[in-house]
A and B are shown apart, each in its own frame.
Chain A
């Protein structure tokens, strides 16, 4: 089966600019996750969707980050405006049931200068 697709692979922006990341999960996977992985740290959950509804966004900095999953399939994560500390790899993952069978995408590496 096809894996979790993410784009772009790399992005460099200046602080205060905006950026968006895209994720296409595995077909049929109802649960979609966005994780932030800062260099030297483990991934941290930003937001979790079940179909097109939000299950957990407690760690999402809502003043600058937003995410949506229209029609319960693809998802976009947006940062506006970006800060230097947002430099990280943003990982998308999907699963066919919550907490089981995770598949991660290759991630988008964001550098904010």
Chain B
């Protein structure tokens, strides 16, 4: 079945370090891919998305490129800040009539000053 696998956390970085959170997927059809972020005490927020192969999603300095050949959608940021500390979820939806999101297990990022 359709699934998403993320790298294990927690990830601990110093401020201004480079961030990569790996995400790979298995899907039938042509999925759309998403990164969601969950700040402490808050709901899930869409961070970025890509709907077809080679698309790059970007927002708030974060980027991810939809790589069909490697079935990956890795999240990157060049210089993290303390305020980026949160849980990050990779997710997909397969083009269908439901819009159901399938999530990875989440990766906790802690950024230290």
| B99 surroundings in chain A (CB, below 8 A) | 31, 48, 95, 97-100
Q: By the criterion of a CB under 8 Å from any partner CB, how many residues of chain A are at the interface?
A: 26
Inter-chain CA distance A33–B103, complex, in Å, is 14
Question: Within residues 27 to 78 of chain B, which ones have a CB less than 8 A from any CB in chain A?
Answer: 32, 41-46
A72 at the interface (CB under 8 A from B): no
Q: Is the CB of B43 within 8 A of A40?
A: no
Of the listed residues B4, B41, B44, B96, the one surrounded by the most CB atoms of chain A closer than 10 A to its CB is B44
Inter-chain CA distance A109–B15, complex, in Å, is 31
Query: Smallest Cβ distance from B93 to chain A, in angstroms?
Result: 5
Inter-chain CA distance A5–B98, complex, in Å, is 22
Inter-chain CA distance A45–B74, complex, in Å, is 23
| A102 surroundings in chain B (CB, below 8 A) | 46, 101
Q: Is the CB of B98 within 8 A of A99?
A: yes
Q: By the criterion of a CB under 8 Å from any partner CB, how many residues of chain B are at the interface?
A: 23
| A93 surroundings in chain B (CB, below 8 A) | 44
| A97 surroundings in chain B (CB, below 8 A) | 99
Inter-chain CA distance A3–B99, complex, in Å, is 20
| A56 surroundings in chain B (CB, below 8 A) | 98, 100
A104's contact among B44, B93, B96, by CB below 8 Å, is which?
Answer: B44
Of the listed residues B32, B42, B43, B102, the one surrounded by the most CB atoms of chain A closer than 10 A to its CB is B43
| B100 surroundings in chain A (CB, below 8 A) | 33, 45, 48, 56, 99
Inter-chain CA distance A42–B105, complex, in Å, is 4
Q: Is the CB of A105 within 8 A of B43?
A: yes
Query: Smallest Cβ distance from B55 to chain A, in angstroms?
Result: 15
Complex A-B: 15 CB contacts under 8 Å: A3-B43, A31-B99, A42-B91, A42-B103, A45-B101, A45-B102, A48-B98, A48-B99, A55-B97, A56-B98, A56-B100, A95-B99, A97-B99, A99-B98, A102-B101
- Chain A residues with CB under 8 Å of chain B are 3-4, 31, 33, 35, 40-45, 48, 55-56, 91, 93, 95, 97-100, 102, 104-107
